[in-house]
């Protein structure tokens, strides 16, 4: 069982939850957990959530975006209180992960709450003092929906972030992520960066196609997607 020990508002619709999990074995940045809720009548619902930070003892940190008609996220963001428990299973996943021993440049592309596991990679890179150069391209609807805004505004040397606003851009023209965004703010394929793309299914497929069109080898592009088309996961 996981005991909630802290909760912090991330945006108007997202909350970062910190859990203490007895016997937690540790995890790699990019992995996720399954959170299961069980009602008094025995009905249960389970969703997957990416971890937002690298391993730190028994601590598991999740940033949860509220899905209005969801069965799990509204409870986690609006009801669960410090000291209460939920059932957590994990860590899960071993492919969509970044390891600090890899010094290759890294391109991270996030759509909405897909930034969560990518932020874990950025934090792991900073904590490990890796020499790998990181670039994040983050597509989000408006400034008010940017997760980890203060951290992204104060990244250390070697880690860069570019935010693309799709609906409300106070400093420019809003719109969906384009091949120009990828070319201008990503890495050239000639230096063989590791690419991680996370977000809604359609977003991930579009970005992966853009990367391939720009010469990135498919085996260097790792994707993590969520949405009703392929799953009921909320990230």
Q: What is the pTM of this model?
A: 0.93
pLDDT in tens, the chain (235 residues): 999 999 999 999 999 999 999 999 999 999 999 999 998 888 999 999 999 999 999 999 999 999 988 899 999 999 999 999 999 999 999 999 999 999 999 999 999 999 999 999 999 999 999 999 999 999 999 999 999 999 999 999 999 999 999 999 988 889 999 999 999 999 999 999 999 999 999 999 999 999 999 999 999 999 999 864 333 233 3
Per-residue confidence (pLDDT) for residue 227, from 0 to 100: 63
Per-residue confidence (pLDDT) for residue 69, from 0 to 100: 87
HEC readout, the chain: CEEEEEEEEEECCEEEEEEEECCCCCCCCCCEEEEEEECCCCCEEEEEEEECCCCECCEEEEEEECCCCCCCHHHHHHCCCCCCEEEEEEEECCCCCCCCCCCCCEEEEEEHHHHHHHHHHHHHHHHHCCCCCEEEEEEECCHHHCCCHHHHCCCCCCEEEEEEECCCCCCCCCCCCCHHHHHHHCCCHHHCCEEEEEEEHHHHHHHHHHHHHCCCCHHHEEEEEECCCCCCCCC
Per-residue confidence (pLDDT) for residue 231, from 0 to 100: 30
Multiple choice CATH, 106-226, 3.90.1860.10, 1.10.10.2120, 3.40.50.80, 3.40.50.720: 3.40.50.80
Per-residue confidence (pLDDT) for residue 226, from 0 to 100: 82
Enter the CATH code of domain 2-92.
2.40.30.10
Structural domain spans, the chain: 2-92, 106-226
């Amino acid at each position: 069982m996981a005991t909630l020990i802290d909760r912090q508002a991330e945006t108007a619709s997202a909350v970062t939850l910190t859990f203490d999990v007895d016997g937690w074995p540790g995890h790699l940045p990019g992995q996720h957990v399954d959170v299961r809720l069980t009602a008094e009548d025995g009905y249960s619902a389970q969703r997957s959530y990416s971890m937002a930070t690298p391993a730190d003892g028994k601590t598991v940190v999740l940033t949860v975006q509220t899905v209005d008609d969801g069965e799990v996220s509204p409870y986690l963001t609006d009801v669960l209180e410090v000291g209460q428990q939920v059932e957590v299973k994990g860590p899960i996943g071993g492919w969509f992960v970044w390891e600090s021993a890899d010094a290759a440049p890294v391109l991270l592309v996030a759509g909405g709450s897909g930034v969560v596991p990518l932020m874990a990679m950025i934090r792991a890179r900073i904590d490990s003092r890796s020499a790998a150069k990181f670039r994040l391209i983050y597509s989000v609807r408006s400034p008010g929906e940017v997760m980890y805004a203060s951290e992204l505004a104060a990244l250390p040397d070697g880690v860069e972030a570019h935010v693309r606003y799709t609906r409300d851009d106070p400093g420019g023209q809003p719109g969906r992520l384009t091949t120009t965004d990828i070319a201008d703010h990503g890495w050239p394929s000639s230096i063989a960066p590791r690419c991680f793309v996370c977000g809604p299914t359609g977003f991930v497929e579009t970005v992966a196609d853009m990367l391939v069109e720009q010469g990135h080898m498919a085996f260097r592009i790792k994707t993590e997607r969520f949405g009703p088309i392929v799953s009921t996961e909320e990230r």
